[in-house]
């Protein structure tokens, strides 16, 4: 028995928002819809890459963009299926301002038989002033997961 679209989407959100990376950095999911996700990363000292300036480490932003794009891909699929980042391009526009939350919006653009394409944007005050933008390709790694059995 397959999940309804709403149940499937809720399952994707639950699984992806509870990964070790996501919870470890303190990120939270703000919302999403089919193929789109929005997350927030509250500022914290554990995220700082340069203690002299308080700027968040670029690797944290890269990981967050990768994860959010993956969340968007997972939310665009019609069945639970494993996939992995195949290629990720990050263009940094500026350093994140210290002591301010970072927001990421990601969208799955297209899914083919073996590859999914996504993009994301990290910003603080406004999408029009991005910290970084990402373009990612995700490879489907195997057949869909087996369906849950009721019982």
Residue 59 lies in a domain: yes
Which pLDDT band holds residue 79 (cuts at 50, 70, 90)?
Answer: confident
Domain membership of residue 100 (yes or no) is yes
On whether residue 145 sits in a domain, the answer given is: no
Share of residues in the chain with pLDDT > 70 (%)? 83
Query: Could you give the number of structural domains in the chain?
Result: 1
Residue 14, phi then psi, degrees to nearest 5: -65, -45
In a domain, 33, yes or no: yes
Question: Which tokens sit at 17?
Answer: 């928002």
Q: What's the CA gap between 86 and 98, in Å, rounded?
A: 31
CA geometry: angle 50, 54, 57, nearest 5 deg: 55
Task: With respect to residue 148, please indicate whether it lies within any of the assigned structural domains.
Answer: no
Q: Is residue 65 part of a domain?
A: yes
Rounded CA gap, 26 and 40, in Å? 9
Residues 6+ apart with CB under 8 A from 146: none
Task: Give the whole-angstrom CA distance, residue 80 versus residue 11.
Answer: 9
More confident residue, 12 or 48: 48
In a domain, 77, yes or no: yes
CATH code for the domain in which residue 51 is found: 3.10.129.10
134 domain residue, yes or no: yes
Give the pLDDT confidence score for residue 144 in this predicted structure.
62
Residue 37 has a pLDDT of 93
The two most distant CA atoms of the chain are separated, in Å, by 56
pTM for this model (two decimals): 0.85
Q: Which token pair is 117? A: 């394409």
Q: What is the C-alpha separation between 121 and 105, in angstroms, rounded? A: 6
Residue 123 pLDDT exceeds 80: yes
* Residues spanned by the domain of 127: 5-140
């Amino acid at each position: 028995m397959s999940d309804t679209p709403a149940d499937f989407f809720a399952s994707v959100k639950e699984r992806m928002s509870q990964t070790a990376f996501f919870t470890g950095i303190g990120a939270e999911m703000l919302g999403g819809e089919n193929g789109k996700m929005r997350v927030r990363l509250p500022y914290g000292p554990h995220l700082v890459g340069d203690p002299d300036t308080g700027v968040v480490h670029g690797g944290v932003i890269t990981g967050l963009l990768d994860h959010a794009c993956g969340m968007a891909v997972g939310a665009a699929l019609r069945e639970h299926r494993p996939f992995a980042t195949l290629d990720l391009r990050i263009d940094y526009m500026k350093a994140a301002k210290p002591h301010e939350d970072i927001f990421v919006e990601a969208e799955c653009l297209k899914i083919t038989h073996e590859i999914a394409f996504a993009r994301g944007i990290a910003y603080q005050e406004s999408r029009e002033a991005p910290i970084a933008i990402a373009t990612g390709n995700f490879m489907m790694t195997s057949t869909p997961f087996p369906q849950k059995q009721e019982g």
